[in-house]
Amino acid sequence: MSNATDWGPLGAVRKQSPLLRAAADRYRETTPFENLTVGVSAPMTPHTGLFLDVLATGGAKVLATGEAGSTHAAVVEWLQERPRITPLAATEHSRHERRDARREVLAAEPDLIADDGANLLSLVHDEFPDVAEGLRGACEQTTGGITRLQAMDNQDVLACPVYDVNGTPMKQHFDNVHGTAESSLSAITSLTDTLLAGSVAVVAGYGHCGRGIARKLRALGARTVVTEVDPRKALEALADGHDVRPMAEAVTEAEFVITATGRYQVLRDEHVDALADGTVIASIGSAVEVDREALASHATDSDQPRPGTTRYRFPDGREVTLLTDGKVVNLTAPNSTGNPGEVMDTTFAMMIRGLVALADGVSLEPGLHPVPDDLDRAVAHEKLAAMAVEIDDIPDKQRAFHSEWAFHDSSAVE
């Protein structure tokens, strides 16, 4: 990683990213990606720019595309000046142009893929099957992407090994629970200038992202309602103190509806007529969770009272506001950069460790695989060290006791 990252659009996040700085120092010497091409699809934020720079520092030729509404022009301009990095993203790219950019990445026949939403992985299997079979492997970091990859894996479609970075404890409990929640609530309040305390906030989905945002809403004084399709997660939400209701019932009193599922049309046509007057709707999971066409078809007219907000008026006089056109709010709100640098540091460090293992030729069958526990623990230990936090080690006697299965009565052990 060059000293150039101390300034410009990546300067602030570089200071928040001790793991990526250490990775750059480590891989500058070992060059694990030498003579390899890495294809990347991710929001083109400063955090992603730093990640791409580490890959290039490790010897990779990097081709990267952005995502809808989250491309930072200054980051793209900076990357264009970096050796071995080709950014194929622009703030004004249409959906078709983004897809063409992904095709350009895949036409370069990458050896490795780092994905966000499985956009490259789904396309490579659909349109570039020979390239898919030639991949050493890939890493996917999002809930929505893993949902798509699980479907592909269940249908025996995946032609290469893919590490489920989203499933690691470090990703789930820090990036998803804390990073997504805090950055999303910051975006929502900045877009609406509305007080969360005392409001009724509906959270769709009680996975790690949903549970994180529901808990932080409660901490800020909101009255929280959770909607779920999984009975176990619904029970967990209930036990955590949230009200649990079906979506059609929950939205009748909602001041905020926040979807956090990565699923298709969680808020859809059948819910529009039930929405309370003044409801603010936001997605923190994916761009497909809110049925925008249903909102538009029910409305008599709409306007944009401020950047990043669309207000719909219905025949009965109700008004509801959709934030960032239903796209992921913490990435696409004006001036937003996604999750905080401290948690993106750990997530991208995990992505890099997974890619290094795949570059080294780890033996894995095609399909979706958990990231090895030792890699996850290594990232956690490295993060603690960067924060100057020490923890205990397990004494030899304790380790021996817990590995001995033949004890019948642990209370009698001398």
Say how far apart CA 13 and CA 253 lie, in whole Å: 39
β strands within 111-255, DSSP E: 112-115, 137-140, 161-164, 200-204, 223-227, 243-244
pTM of the prediction?
0.88
The CATH number that domain 177-332 falls under is 3.40.50.720
3-171+340-386: which CATH architecture?
3-Layer(aba) Sandwich (3.40)
C-beta atoms surrounding 362 within 10 Å: 15
Q: Please, how many CA atoms are within 13 Å of residue 42, restricted to the half-sphere of its CB?
A: 31
Q: Which residue, 344, 411, 307, is CA-closest to 142?
A: 344
Q: What is the dihedral angle through the alpha carbons of 374, 135, 81, 26, rounded to the nearest 10 degrees?
A: 30
Say how far apart CA 407 and CA 317 lie, in whole Å: 71
Domain with CATH 3.40.50.720 in the chain: 177-332
Count the residues in the chain.
Answer: 414
Full pLDDT tens readout for the chain, 414 residues: 555 556 678 888 889 999 999 999 999 999 999 999 999 999 999 999 999 999 999 999 999 998 877 788 899 999 999 999 999 988 777 889 999 999 999 999 999 999 999 999 999 999 999 999 999 999 999 988 999 999 999 999 999 999 999 999 999 999 999 999 999 999 999 999 999 999 999 999 999 999 999 999 999 999 999 999 999 999 999 999 999 999 999 999 999 999 999 899 999 999 999 999 999 999 998 889 999 999 999 999 999 999 999 999 999 999 999 999 999 999 889 888 788 889 999 999 999 999 999 999 999 999 999 999 999 999 999 999 999 999 999 998 888 888 877 655 655 555
Q: Which residue, 111, 129, 118, 124, is CA-closest to 164?
A: 118
DSSP reduced 3-state for 86: strand
Domain with CATH 3.40.50.1480 in the chain: 3-171+340-386
The predicted structure's pLDDT at residue 407:
56
The predicted structure's pLDDT at residue 193:
92
C-beta atoms surrounding 349 within 10 Å: 24
CA-to-CA separations, 77 to 80, 91, 98, 360, 394, in angstroms, rounded: 5, 11, 17, 32, 49
